[in-house]
Structure formats: C-alpha cells, structure tokens
Structure 1
Amino acid sequence: MNSIFQDANRQQIANRRRKDVIIHLVFIVATSIGVLALCALIIDILMDGLSRLQPDLFTNFPSRKAAGSGMKSAIVGSIYMLIIMLPVSFILGVGAAIYLEEYAGKNRFTRLIQLNISTLAGVPSIVYGILGLTLFVRLLAFERSLLAGAFTMTLLVLPIIIVSAQEAIRAVPKSRRDASFALGATKWQTVSRSVIPSSISGILTGVILAMSRAIGETAPLVMIGAMTYINFLPTSLKDSFTVMPIQIYNWISKPQLEFKELAASGIIVLLALLLIMNFSAILLRNKYQKKY
C-alpha cells in the first residue's frame, strides 16, 4: 500500500514539474516575442532617423519644407510644460498622499477616496483630455494655452503620484514614528523630519516616472487643441504651444518620405529624453533608498 502511495506522489511531483517547465517556456517565448518586436521597432527607427539627427533638428522651427524643418518649438514647449507641471504635481500629489496616510482617519469615506484615486490612475488619457477641455479651456477660459496644457497633464499624473507616494510613505516602519513621538516630536515634526526623508526615494521615483508618462502623451493635448504647427516660442502662459509627441504625429501623418525620417529622428530624441528621466529615477532611488 505504501509503495502505491509513493508511486502516486512521485507521479504528481513529475506532473507538477512538467507543468512548471511548460509554463516557464511559455513565459520565455512570450517575453522574447515582445523584446524582439521592440528591438525591431527601435532598429527601424534608428535606420530612418539617424541621418536627420543633426543640429538643425534642435535649432530650426517646424516648416512645410522638410529640408529646413526642426522641432525647436516642440522641445521648448515640452520643457516649459514640465517646468509648470512639476511643482504643481509634486505639491498636490505628495500633499494628498501625506494627508491620506498620516492624518486622515481610516473610515469608509477615506476608503472611497482611495478607491477613486486608484481607479483614476488607470483611466485612459483621452478622458483627462476631455476634462481639461471642459474645465480649463472652456470654463476657466485658458483657451489653447500652455497653462491649459500643463494643468491638463497635471490631472493625468496626479493619481499616479499620489499612489506611488502613498506606497513609499506606507513602507516607512511604524517604529520610526513611535521613536519620534517618544522623543516629544509633534505630528508634523515626525512627518517632515522622519517620514518624508525616509520615503523621499520612492516619492521622487514616482514623480519622475509620472513626468515621463506625461511627456510622451498626445491624446489629452490633442483634445484641448494644442497646435501642430508653431514657428515661435511661447513667451507667456497664455501663448499657444506644441510638444514633441504632437510634432512627431504631425510629421508622420504627411505623405513625403522626408517627413517620415524627421518623425523618426524626433522619436529618437523623445526616447533619449525618456531614458534619461527613467535613469535619473533609478539613480535617485539608489542614492536615497534606506534599508530598515
């Protein structure tokens, strides 16, 4: 009887191992397909765009002639939008996370708010474009300005920043708070001098990754009417603007091959900027990360 049970157990173990091997192979194949497709796209973009990756691309304004066209206004517009977005998003997002984690009571109302924030983090970006069009462009009469675009993208990244900042604050051990209170610190002193410094790496990482998403978004800015052809630099918050994804979209929609090459070179610039921002997030996380 024991030998029968042992044989059955060995057979079950062999079946589980066989299933594990099959699932492992499926995961490897799926990952390989995704990586190969990404590599093929990057190689194709590099082959088309490297020839047009010249100083004129950064110093010239967009033009109807591909030979003298550049993306100066789009690069500057993206930078201006990030400069406006960053402080507003950081203050509102991190402030909301601190309130929800450290001050708000754990009741049904706060759980409802938390559920809504988590849901908003996964809402398609076009929905934020419709909201920005209704709220900032029409209701507040910002028109198709840099301010309207920056505030619309702030709405897009706020849920992401709040969720990531909450996770970073939640990861701080309770013992640090208790030790601070035991030394006579107030609630705000504990939060500002113990909790936030301990969680700053996770907070900064979430903020930078959220900015990376915002700089590559097109749909919300198309909805609020961001211009596709701008041959001047914005001088005030009420001026019209364009950004790199919209300029790339404009070029790639044209039938001429030269504009396709310009679009590929613009994609290379945008990818480089995104990689720099993500690499900065990794460096900040490694520099300020604390082990408990």
Structure 2
Amino acid sequence: MDSLLLIFLVCLGLGAVIGFMAGLLGIGGGIIAVPVLLYLLPKAGFGSEILPHVAIATSLAAIILTSLSSARAHNRQGNIPWSLLKPMLPGLAIGSICSGFISQLFSADLLQQTFAIFVMVMALQMVFPFKVSERDKPLPSTAVLFTTSVVIAIIAALMGIGGGILLIPFLTWCGIHMRNAIGFSSVSGLFIAFFGSAGYVVAGWQVTGMPEATLGYVYLPALLGIVTTSVLMAPIGARAATYWPVPVLRRAFALLLILTGLKLVFS
C-alpha cells in the first residue's frame, strides 16, 4: 500500500480516537495526536531533524475545527466572556505566530523531550487536578492579561495543543467562573490553533527536503485524516461520558500518557 494512503487511513482511525476521547474525557487532541504522529510520519519520509516540528504543526492545525465546534457550542450557551478578547487576543496571536519560529531554535531531540515531559505533567494534572477557588475579584491589568496570553500561546503552540489546560486555571484564579473560563478557553484554542498553524506554515515554507503534500510544516494527508473523523466522533464521546466510568478511564489514560512520555524521553 502506498505510504501516503496508509498514513491517511491510520489518521482516520487516530481522528476517531481523538474525537471520542475529547468528548469523553474533555482533553485536547494534541496530547494524543503528537505521539502517534511521531511514530507514523517517518513512513512518509520525514527525517528526525524535522519530525517533531511536523507532528506538532499538524496536530495544531487539526485542533482548528475541533475548537471551532466547541466555541460555537459554548457561545450558544452564553459561556464566553467576549470582553476578554480585547486584552488577550493580541497576545494569543503574537505568541502563537512566534511559536513556529521559536520551535526552529530547538533541536528535534530537545523539542521531542520537552513535549514528552509536558505530556507527563499533563497526565498528572488529569489525576490530581489543580484546585482553584472561584471568586469574584477584579481582573488583572491589561498588561498582565496580554503578557500571560503571550506566554500561554507560545507554550501551547510549541506543544501542539489548544492551551486550555494552562488557560483555564489562570482565568479561574483571576476570578472568572469555571463555565466562562472553559468557554473562553474554547475561543482561545481556536485562535492559538489558527495563528500557530500559520506560524508553522510560514516557518517551514523554505525548509528543504520536505516530502510532498506538506504546507510548511503541516502534513496535509495526516491533517485531512484526523479532522475527517474527529469532528464526527466527539459528540459520541460526549454521550458516552454519561454512562461510562469517566474517573477510572481518566486515570487509565493518564497512566498511558505517562508511559508514552517516558518512551519518548528515552527513544
């Protein structure tokens, strides 16, 4: 079987898993997609020196449609505090766009190991979530919100995730109620994914030796496969959450992430 077709078919399955797990456990697709793509993309001819960049960029691009769907749902429920966009959107855009160029400053091995450590920390967060009390208080200054959004966007886009795992605790610490923090995170994830993907496209545009069917660092067959099924499976996962033992599954999935992270660190 042609390697391009094989990768597309595997990514159809990967997208189904990502969508289902996102609906079931409320996790972003990046922590699932990136490790799988790191093992899958060498079959398409990607060398080790660009492999993490392509895996992260492709994961980030796949988040766009998922975040758009989530943001629309939260907007219908009135959960999005749109006033926060004015101080935070410029920082989200700047940080996300810069991430693609910042990633080029890291060696492939360092970027992969950094992602692996990040995955393990996020797995621990799933098992032992941060407890942040919701309370009404004045928001930080515009400068603080802008700076924080830049930092969060850089980290999220460098790791190929939407950033909710970082943004939601910060917003609740600022006094934003949890449902509004989650709603705003869905919008932020959309902007981080969009601008971050654009940064990786531009940063990878002049990279030589890239296989066919790439747009900068984004590998289009993998992207198409993931988004085709992830959007369809997310509602099914959300319905399954009503009946399945989510806390037990969350801990089992966290353990799998830790093992995956250790594998990436020592590979």
Scaled by the length of structure 2, what TM-score is found? Answer: 0.27
Q: Which has the larger radius of gyration?
A: 1
Which structure has more relative contact order (CA 8 Å, sep 6+)? It is 2
